[in-house]
A and B are shown apart, each in its own frame.
Chain A
Amino acid sequence: HTKLLQLLTTKPE
């Protein structure tokens, strides 16, 4: 997993 993909797919806290 790339960092960009990871940031895009994590739900906002």
Chain B
Amino acid sequence: NHQSTMSPEEFISRIMEAEPPEIYLMEDLKKPFTEASMMMSLTNLADKELVLMISWAKKIPGFVELSLADQIHLLKCCWLEILMLGLMWRSVDHPGKLIFSPDFKLSREEGQCVEGIMEIFDMLLAATSRFRELKLQREEYVCLKAMILLNSNLSTSSPQTTEELESRNKLLRLLDSVIDALVWAISKLGLSTQQQTLRLGHLAMLLSHIRHVSNKGMDHLSNMKRKNVVLVYNLLLEMLDANTSSSS
């Protein structure tokens, strides 16, 4: 269990190195958007990002030592939250805009062309504003992203086999490591002890907003798919189905 002996500093440097490269949509965007064209661009980008997300997760120290079942379950639970936090990070210095990729930026108003998406854009923009007010640091951002992944599924069923039990224990120790890492990152900012505690609380509370927006987004995407506004395929389809089939 090398991650338990890893210092918070080392843990952060490993997850900083795991960061996926910048991704481009690489499509000729025809403006104004239609409902179908915007949904297609959004889902094409999400599908590309998902492939990189799997590689990213595998680079989180200790993740690949979890059981394969836990790895799959965690990713299926949190993928949209991870995509949304990444979007917030890219958009943090651009008030009122959502920077999906360097070549795909949307203003709040552009959300008007997709039924029901402006509400989600507004929630994304609100959470992004909170991160802007808090002056979220890159080290904190990477910790939060790892926290989302590792905290995404606290299974209700108790582990049945030794393998499941070991994986569950590893997961809990990994969560300890990532919390330690976030606490360490906050401690570098030159705040008073009380301010550090408050910051940790505020950052952690933002995660519940992200979960909420992700649930809204998941419903929206499955509705768009059901109404044939957009054709969802490939890895994105697999990840979406994992959520819609378990909730219905």
**Residues of chain A whose beta carbon lies under 8 Å from any beta carbon of chain B:** 2-5, 7-9, 12
| CB-defined contacts of B51 to chain A, threshold 8 Å | 7
Q: Which residue of B lies closest to A3 (CB)?
A: B235
B235 touches A8 (CB 8 A): no
B58 touches A12 (CB 8 A): yes
B window 48-76: CB within 8 A of A: 51, 54-55, 58, 68, 71-72, 75-76
**Residues of chain B whose beta carbon lies under 8 Å from any beta carbon of chain A:** 51, 54-55, 58, 68, 71-72, 75-76, 234-235, 238-239
A8 touches B68 (CB 8 A): yes
List, sorted by A's number, 26 A–B pairs whose CB atoms are closer than 8 Å: A2-B238, A3-B234, A3-B235, A3-B238, A4-B54, A4-B72, A4-B75, A4-B76, A4-B235, A4-B238, A4-B239, A5-B68, A5-B72, A7-B51, A7-B54, A7-B55, A7-B235, A8-B54, A8-B58, A8-B68, A8-B71, A8-B72, A8-B75, A9-B68, A12-B55, A12-B58
| CB-defined contacts of B239 to chain A, threshold 8 Å | 4
Complex Cα distance A8/B238, Å? Answer: 14
Main secondary structure, interface of A, reads: helix
Q: Which residue of A lies closest to B237 (CB)?
A: A3
| CB-defined contacts of A12 to chain B, threshold 8 Å | 55, 58
15 additional contacts, CB 8 Å, given A4-B76, A5-B68, A7-B51? Answer: A3-B234, A4-B54, A4-B75, A4-B238, A4-B239, A5-B72, A7-B54, A7-B55, A8-B54, A8-B58, A8-B71, A8-B75, A9-B68, A12-B55, A12-B58
